[in-house]
């Protein structure tokens, strides 16, 4: 057990956390917080560090995914409000990863194209009403350098714990097609790229999305939050399943999107693959909803311009400007943990 100090509205408490126990989950940590603060897990806003940064609380993940160490101070506050809201109050985006490339049987959908309605929740996931009784939900995954693989594992394997398996799929895809994935495309010799992409600290991007789309026979539509643009990664016509999935790209991070009867529905009720009823984002109901989801996130400033944003290397403290300088620094030092100022 290791002591972790918790500052909450009732005062300061010390929680004993089994840091070395991988069976101790984020959900168990939330229950410990509840036991001393009386703040329900669904209402807990948790921050740590200096200045305090919000933590992404994924209940099924191990506690270690939060990066909390012995002696760290945790700040928890209660999120006010339980119902849907159309508020677009800004919340700064935070970053710990920089992707290496900017991504340039489901139930049938209604024949008529409904008009998605903007909805945002102050106390739960961001979502959009699709107009047919369902909601498209923003599914957040951790900022841990594996966000692309976690998001696509959530979509294709229904578990972000399968992220490393998807890295292996990418490695096999590169090995199987040396003509396409040559040194010029990869930016390094293929064996070196394969060795690198298998590391949990390596970012993924366009190359990885293309390989995963081919492997699963489904189009991956990457929705850029800042511009609303949909970049599509499609499998060959000979192997396509006619299905599409959605990932949400903030400039420095990937999340997933899924369809559910309600925003707080259990994970097993979520649909992550959709029939491609249209290639046009103005007529396909899911692409329309994904665009509206990006609108909400854009209004909240939940994106980063990777050309101009200020970064600090969390391993050596060096200040950096934009994605380009961060890449050079990562290549020179091997450092991969960055935070946005």
- Walk along the chain (341 residues) and give the pLDDT tens digit of each residue: 778 888 888 888 888 888 888 888 888 888 888 888 888 777 788 888 766 778 887 777 888 888 888 777 888 888 754 332 222 222 223 233 333 333 322 222 222 233 344 444 444 678 998 877 889 999 999 888 899 999 999 999 999 999 999 999 999 999 999 999 998 888 889 999 999 999 988 889 999 999 999 999 999 999 999 889 999 999 999 999 999 999 999 988 999 999 998 888 888 899 999 998 766 667 788 999 999 999 999 988 887 766 666 777 877 888 887 767 777 787 788 776 666 55
Distance CA 332, CA 37 (A): 45
- Residues 6 or more apart in contact with residue 90 via CB below 8 angstroms: 299, 300, 301
164 and 275 fall within a common domain:
yes
161 and 290 share one domain:
yes
Per the CB < 8 A criterion, the answer to whether 118 and 292 are in contact is yes
143 with 231, same domain: the answer is yes
* Under 8 Å between Cβ of 106 and 271: yes
Residue 88 domain flag? no
Residues 320 and 293 in one domain: no
Tell which of 78, 105, 140 closes a domain. 78
Beta-carbon contacts of residue 266 (< 8 Å; ≥ 6 apart): none
With respect to residue 63, please indicate whether it lies within any of the assigned structural domains. Answer: yes
Quote the DSSP letter at residue 92: -
Same domain membership, residue 133 and residue 278 = yes
Identified catalytic residue from 8, 138, 143, 147: 147
253 in catalytic set: yes
Q: How far is CA 97 from the centre of its chain?
A: 11
Q: Which residues contact 19 (CB under 8 A, 6 or more apart)?
A: 2, 63, 64, 68, 69, 70
Q: How far is residue 326 from each of residues 70, 151, 180, 209, 232, measured CA to CA in Å?
A: 29, 23, 27, 22, 26
**Catalytic residue at 335?**
yes
Q: Is 91 inside a domain boundary?
A: no
Which of 49, 78, 107 corresponds to the end of one domain?
78
| 176 contacts 293 by C-beta, under 8 angstroms | no
Q: Is there a single domain that holds both residue 71 and residue 137?
A: no
Same domain, 62 and 128: no
Coil/strand/helix, residue 193: helix
Are 198 and 67 within one domain?
Answer: no
Residue position matching structure tokens 């979520």: 270
In three-state secondary structure terms, 16 is strand
SS3 271: strand
144 is catalytic: yes
Q: Domain limits at 314?
A: 306-340
Verify that 264 and 224 share a domain, yes or no.
Answer: yes
Looking at the structure, tell me whether residues 30 and 159 fall in a common domain: no
Which of 143, 144, 224, 284 is catalytic? The answer is 144
What are the phi and psi torsion angles at 256 (to 5°)? -105, 165
Tell me whether residue 211 is in a domain.
yes
Question: Could you tell me if residue 107 is inside a domain?
Answer: no
What's the CA angle centered on 258, arms 254 and 264, to 5 degrees? 110
> Could you say which of 253, 255, 270, 313 is catalytic?
253
**Co-location of 125 and 271 in the same domain:** yes
Kindly report the CATH number assigned to the domain that includes residue 231.
3.90.70.80
Rounded CA-CA distance 45/156 in Å is 29
Residue 163 lies in a domain: yes
Residue 126 main-chain phi, psi, to 5 deg: -75, 140
294 and 312 housed in the same domain: no
Phi, psi angles (nearest 5°) of residue 66? -80, -15
In sequence order, the 6+-apart residues with CB closer than 8 A to the CB of 150 are 141, 142, 144, 160, 163, 254
Within a domain: 99: no
Instruction: Answer yes or no: 165 catalytic.
Output: no
Domain count for the chain:
3
């Amino acid at each position: 057990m290791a002591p972790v100090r918790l500052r909450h509205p009732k005062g300061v408490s010390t929680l004993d956390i089994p840091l070395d126990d991988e069976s101790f989950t984020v959900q168990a940590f939330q229950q410990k917080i509840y036991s001393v603060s009386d703040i329900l897990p669904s209402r807990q806003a948790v921050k740590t560090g200096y200045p305090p940064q919000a933590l992404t609380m994924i209940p099924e993940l191990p506690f270690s995914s939060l990066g909390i160490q012995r002696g760290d101070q945790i700040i928890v506050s209660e999120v006010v409000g339980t119902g849907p809201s159309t508020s677009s109050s800004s919340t700064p985006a935070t970053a710990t990863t920089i992707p290496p490339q900017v991504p340039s049987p489901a139930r049938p959908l209604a024949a008529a194209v409904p008009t998605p309605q903007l909805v945002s929740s102050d106390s739960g996931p961001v979502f959009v009403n699709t107009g047919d009784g369902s909601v498209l939900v923003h599914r957040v995954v951790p900022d841990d350098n594996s966000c692309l693989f976690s998001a696509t594992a959530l979509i294709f394997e229904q578990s972000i714990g399968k992220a490393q398996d998807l890295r292996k799929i990418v490695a096999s895809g590169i090995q199987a097609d040396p003509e396409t994935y040559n040194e010029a495309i990869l930016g390094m010799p293929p064996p070196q790229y394969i060795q690198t992409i298998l590391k949990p600290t390596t970012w993924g991007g366009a190359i990885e999305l293309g390989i995963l789309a081919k492997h699963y026979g489904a189009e991956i539509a990457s929705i850029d939050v800042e511009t609303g643009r949909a970049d599509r990664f499609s499998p060959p016509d000979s192997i396509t399943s006619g299905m599409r999935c959605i990932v949400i790209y903030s400039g420095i991070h990937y999340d997933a999107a899924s369809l559910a009867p309600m925003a707080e529905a259990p994970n097993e009720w979520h649909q992550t693959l959709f029939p491609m009823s249209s290639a046009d984002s103005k007529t396909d109901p899911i692409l329309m909803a994904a665009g509206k989801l990006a609108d909400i996130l854009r209004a909240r400033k939940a994106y980063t311009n990777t050309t101009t944003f200020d970064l600090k290397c969390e391993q050596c403290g060096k200040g950096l400007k934009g994605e380009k300088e961060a890449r050079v620094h990562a290549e020179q030092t091997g450092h991969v943990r960055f935070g946005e100022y």
